[in-house]
A and B are shown apart, each in its own frame.
Chain A
Amino acid sequence: MEIDLTEEKQKTTNIILSSSSLSKLIQTETELLGRNGLINSLLKQLKTVDSEKRKTMGMKINSFKQEIITLILKQKKILSQTKNNEKTDITLPGESILTGTLHPITIAIAEISLIFSKLGFIRMSYPEVEWEYLAFDALNMPKTHPARDDFETTFVNGNQHEKYGKMILTPHTSSGQIREMWRLKKPPIRMINIGKCYRPNWDATHTPMFHQFEGLYVDTDVNITHLKGALDFFSKEYFGEATQTRLRPHHFQFTEPSFEVDISCTMCKGTGFVETSRDPVQKCKICKSGWLELGGTGIVHPNVLKSGNIDPNTYSGWAFGFGIERVIMMKYGVDDIRNYYSGDMRFLSQF
């Protein structure tokens, strides 16, 4: 007996070429080349073939098998190419994957701590309920200073300390200066103290609680050039390389000389004027003549070093205290400070 492959060849070629999907083609592949597939069944029929023709027949079946394999590979290539031609509307929205938010104060604290860590400043944390002595007397603020009265300082109940006076909610992070001097006992000191502060003031631009970051640097041979260098560094890192800083004379009890630090306005680039497509050149609304006030700084007053048990004849230092809400406003334009502590999702969900 003989096996005629002509018809089979025609049939399999049609099946392979008409396979419209990869899965169908793989099914066809099994039907042809699998354990119980066409080729194997043909090979099984070999034993019925006359012995003299068996060898030639076997070779024919094998070459048929090779043809099938080649054809299937070819068809696979074609089909996988059409798979790449799949189309999708990329303008459809992505699936909604939710995330929460961090408070803008948290984000700013992380930024600020990182910048000062590059200058070797360590972040510390000091009490919010503080003695009058540490918040005022030790910082060279006399008993009669207006900032110490009921209208500017938040007092809490509790026993009065013989030496340290009443308990208050600290009105600035500067009380941390004395605590850091006491902790380290001996300079050098490089501290950044970030914390909540309290003042009895609640209006469009003040909240009774706010955040400050306080820098304290104490060492030998300290002068104004170092203070300028560090604050230039901070301003460029936080507000951008193009930021200019300037010092203006000011007055704080804990420093002498005292300065107000300004940075060139982030909105009008220090020109004092803005130009919009709608309006002609106008005065910049957010700055004063091209400059924005960053906050107060100065050379640590010798009396403050003395309170910290540090000899002002050997050591000197500089310090600053800036508002975090303020630097966020200056950098990101988040303006209404009352939103910060309202817990209002219309505000919180934006960050």
Chain B
Amino acid sequence: MNIKILHSWLLEFLETKATPYEIQQYVSLCGPSIENVEQTSDDWVYDIEITSNRIDTVSVVGIARETATILNRFHIPAVFKKPNQLINQETPKNTLPLILRDDKQLTKRLMAVVMDTVELGKSPDFIQKRLETAGIRSINNLVDITNYVMLEIGHPTHVFDYDRIKTNTLVIRNAKKGEKITTLDGKAYELFETDIIIDDGTGRIIDFPGIMGAANSVVTNDTKRIVFFIESNNPQAIRKSSMTHGIRTMAASINEKNPHPDLVKEALFRGIALFKSHVKAKTASTVFDIYPHVPPAKKIQIDIPFIHKKIGVPIEKKQIISILTDLEFSIFETKDQLEVSVPTFRYFDIFEKEDIIEEIARIYGYHNIPSQLPPLVYIKQPSDIEAVFYYQNVIKTFFKHQIFYEAMNYSAYSLLLLEKFNMDESGHIHITNSISEDIKYLRISLIPSLLKNIKDNGGGFSNLKLFEIAKTYIPKSGEFPEENFKLSFATRQSFLYFKGIVETLLKELHIDIFSFTPSFHPFFAKNVQANLVIGNTIVGVFGKIESQIANNLELNSPVFSGEFDFIKLIEKARLMPIYKPYNPYAAIQLDLTIPLNKPYSKIVQIAKESAPHLTQIALKDTYKDNITLHLVFSSQKRNYTEKEALIELESIRSKLA
């Protein structure tokens, strides 16, 4: 989260001559990131990113503490003006009753005080300005002070209209399923059992603590008496409620990051002081404080050589102690050993030695730590992994040069799309908390996405050719799904064009032994599909998209597609083909036109059987029901003659007749 604070406010807790730009530059290097500094008519605004572990810096006081420590390391004098430990010395004459109950200890600490004779009105200008800078709308002096305290001290606070509570009672409890609350912005929510709310003892819900106040208890223009109330919440409960209901207030953002309960007291007394001075309020009750479990003090042992080893720089012990002391850690030192006591505001952030190292290193300055290349060692990359990445590049480049475009699609598709392919959702793994129905079912094939791409690109790309290499996720009952790399591609050309690409790809991979066999895949038209078989393994299947599926996708012209198992495809791939010495003797090339009255593969087989010197056979042309074959005859021992070749040609012709 980010906070915006004014330079002038920061200077209330920081004495320095540093310019805002110096503060931005140096604090960003060693502490919270000041992403922007902007000059206003008479002030400067800092926009600061607060990381989730450093919720102690979500306040003007927290930033002042960091800034003073850091500026001193850059030789710019700076002093942190710690806020005075305020105490409430006033003893009220007439005490107004208030009952607080948290029987199940749903909060870590509860503090409250009743205040009387409030003079409702506008806040002073400086308060309005500071709130507006932070992005908080000024409402009235009561509400504004609660927000002012939150920004200054770093703990959310709340104010109730004492008289609107009616029962003088605040009971912290879990909501019952179906109970309703209307928050102060007028929105109604139906609650869950995981939500923690405040009830006035009669079952009437009067607050959503730590998240947002309720409309029925919030201060109004008629408010005379208030309850100033601060609770230390369970951060997980706040996170859950705030996210589930979508109420992302600044209070919720801070409370879900677990500010220390000690801060509650600081915030309460700061608030009381402000109510007194700006709202003319008087305390009208004792200060209530329910704090059943005070976290024990935290100490960490660390030795100097360990610090040096991990940072890589021998920082002097004196300097180490000074850094930690400035950050309000207290140190007990014995020789090379330090016992570091963690301040309460860092309690949920600092756990072990490494956390202390981080504090020392960042304030010492990461920019002061030298940079060196790590020593080289050889690690063997598993050869199967190496092959996958190597051939992905080879195959992707091949497709690029065949005028294919590489698509990358989401790993999941919609129910609608899988049903268009007559697939069943049960064969898929699905995302249980998907944010969109478009990406709910993990792909078991890449073809649906590619065909959707073709459809989505529309008529402007009529010859569009796409390919994708990605994983599919096949469910395995009771265990991890099978993740396999697949190669898929799609074109509009023709079945034989598609087959040609497959054959050329195999040539690129120097795979010689393969065949195409009949296949029965439901994505493809019954008689226009084939398996690619390498060795004895079916590597993939391709064909013309079945017409019902094509209709479902509203594809107006035929589309051809296929999918290949990537690992099986590259298993027999070679960097170089198997070398064969070339035949030095003359070969005879002849053409033969015959009727196409049987499958081409059968014709080739017969031709080869009937002509011992036939060394190459290719399809040259097809015309009506005839085909022209291009034949090469040769001998390994001598120049072959035209006369000999013609005899073999006639033999082929007669066998094929």
- A-side residues, CB < 8 A to B, are 98-103, 105-106, 110, 113, 119-125, 127-129, 144, 146, 149-151, 154-159, 167, 169, 184, 188-191, 196, 198, 200-202, 208-209, 217, 219, 221-226, 228-230, 232-233, 246-251, 256-260, 288-289, 299, 301-302, 316, 340-345, 348-349
| 18 further contact pairs, Cβ within 8 A, besides A113-B389, A198-B411 | A100-B404, A119-B373, A120-B377, A129-B480, A150-B433, A221-B309, A225-B371, A229-B372, A247-B366, A249-B51, A256-B352, A258-B358, A259-B366, A289-B37, A316-B310, A341-B409, A343-B449, A343-B466
State the Cβ distance, A134 to closest chain B Cβ, in Å. Answer: 11
Distance between Cα atoms of A247 and B240 in the complex (Å): 33
A129: chain B residues within 8 A (beta carbon): 429, 442, 473, 480-481, 483
Any A CB within 8 A of the CB of B52: yes
CB closest residue in chain A, given B432: A155
CB closest residue in chain B, given A103: B406
Given A249-B31, A344-B457, does the pair A144, B366 have CB atoms closer than 8 Å? no
Given A119-B373, A129-B480, A200-B435, does the pair A224, B453 have CB atoms closer than 8 Å? no
B357: chain A residues within 8 A (beta carbon): 256-257, 299
Are B400 and A102 interface neighbours, CB within 8 A? yes
A226: chain B residues within 8 A (beta carbon): 312, 372-374
CB closest residue in chain B, given A159: B478
The 6 residue pairs across chains A and B that have the minimum distance between CB atoms: A223-B312, A343-B453, A257-B358, A122-B381, A228-B371, A256-B354
Interface residues of A, dominant DSSP: mixed
State the Cβ distance, A286 to closest chain B Cβ, in Å. Answer: 13
Q: Provide 10 A-B residue pairs closer than 8 Å at the C-beta atoms, listed in order of the A residue.
A: A99-B400, A100-B403, A122-B379, A123-B389, A155-B432, A159-B477, A188-B379, A200-B433, A224-B366, A249-B30
Are A154 and B457 interface neighbours, CB within 8 A? no
CB closest residue in chain B, given A351: B406
Any A CB within 8 A of the CB of B408: yes
CB closest residue in chain A, given B372: A229
Partner of B371, one of A167, A209, A232, A341: A232
Distance between Cα atoms of A219 and B377 in the complex (Å): 10
A301: chain B residues within 8 A (beta carbon): 354
Are A289 and B381 interface neighbours, CB within 8 A? no
What string of 1s and 0s marks CB contacts (under 8 Å) between B424-459 and chain A?
A: 000001111111100100100000011011001100
State the Cβ distance, B487 to closest chain A Cβ, in Å. Answer: 13
Partner of A127, one of B53, B385, B401, B483: B483
A158: chain B residues within 8 A (beta carbon): 429, 475, 481
Partner of B431, one of A106, A127, A149, A155: A155
B475: chain A residues within 8 A (beta carbon): 158
Are A343 and B371 interface neighbours, CB within 8 A? no
B461: chain A residues within 8 A (beta carbon): 345
A247: chain B residues within 8 A (beta carbon): 366-367
Partner of A149, one of B240, B367, B439, B483: B240
Distance between Cα atoms of A78 and B154 in the complex (Å): 94
Are A102 and B374 interface neighbours, CB within 8 A? no
Give the contact stretch, choosing among B5-13, B278-286, B318-326, B391-399: B391-399
Given A100-B399, A103-B408, A301-B354, does the pair A149, B239 have CB atoms closer than 8 Å? yes
Distance between Cα atoms of A27 and B52 in the complex (Å): 91
Given A99-B400, A225-B370, A343-B449, does the pair A251, B51 have CB atoms closer than 8 Å? yes
Any A CB within 8 A of the CB of B464: yes
- B177-213 residues with Cβ-Cβ distance < 8 A to A are none
B435: chain A residues within 8 A (beta carbon): 200-202, 208
CB closest residue in chain A, given B406: A103
Any A CB within 8 A of the CB of B471: yes
Distance between Cα atoms of A233 and B8 in the complex (Å): 41
Any A CB within 8 A of the CB of B369: yes
Distance between Cα atoms of A226 and B374 in the complex (Å): 5
Given A100-B404, A102-B396, A208-B439, does the pair A190, B358 have CB atoms closer than 8 Å? no
Any A CB within 8 A of the CB of B590: no
Given A169-B431, A249-B31, A344-B456, does the pair A257, B239 have CB atoms closer than 8 Å? no
A229: chain B residues within 8 A (beta carbon): 371-374
CB closest residue in chain A, given B392: A106
What string of 1s and 0s marks CB contacts (under 8 Å) between B330-374 and chain A?
A: 000000000000000000000010110110011000110111111
Are B432 and A120 interface neighbours, CB within 8 A? no
A342: chain B residues within 8 A (beta carbon): 456
Distance between Cα atoms of A196 and B483 in the complex (Å): 13
A189: chain B residues within 8 A (beta carbon): 379
Partner of A101, one of B355, B362, B400: B400
CB closest residue in chain A, given B369: A224
Are A228 and B452 interface neighbours, CB within 8 A? no
Distance between Cα atoms of A348 and B468 in the complex (Å): 12
Any A CB within 8 A of the CB of B317: no
A256: chain B residues within 8 A (beta carbon): 352, 354-355, 357-358
A224: chain B residues within 8 A (beta carbon): 310-312, 361, 366, 369
State the Cβ distance, A119 to closest chain B Cβ, in Å. Answer: 7
Any A CB within 8 A of the CB of B416: no
Q: Which interface residue of B310, B393, B406 has the most chain A CB atoms within 10 A?
A: B406
Partner of A155, one of B355, B367, B433: B433
State the Cβ distance, A19 to closest chain B Cβ, in Å. Answer: 37
A191: chain B residues within 8 A (beta carbon): 379
State the Cβ distance, B495 to closest chain A Cβ, in Å. Answer: 21
Any A CB within 8 A of the CB of B33: yes
Distance between Cα atoms of A223 and B435 in the complex (Å): 41
State the Cβ distance, A157 to closest chain B Cβ, in Å. Answer: 5
Given A100-B405, A103-B407, does the pair A248, B29 have CB atoms closer than 8 Å? yes
Distance between Cα atoms of A155 and B473 in the complex (Å): 14
Partner of B405, one of A101, A121, A200, A250: A101
Any A CB within 8 A of the CB of B18: no
Are B406 and A128 interface neighbours, CB within 8 A? no
Given A102-B406, A249-B362, does the pair A299, B388 have CB atoms closer than 8 Å? no
Distance between Cα atoms of A250 and B366 in the complex (Å): 12
Any A CB within 8 A of the CB of B15: no
Any A CB within 8 A of the CB of B236: yes
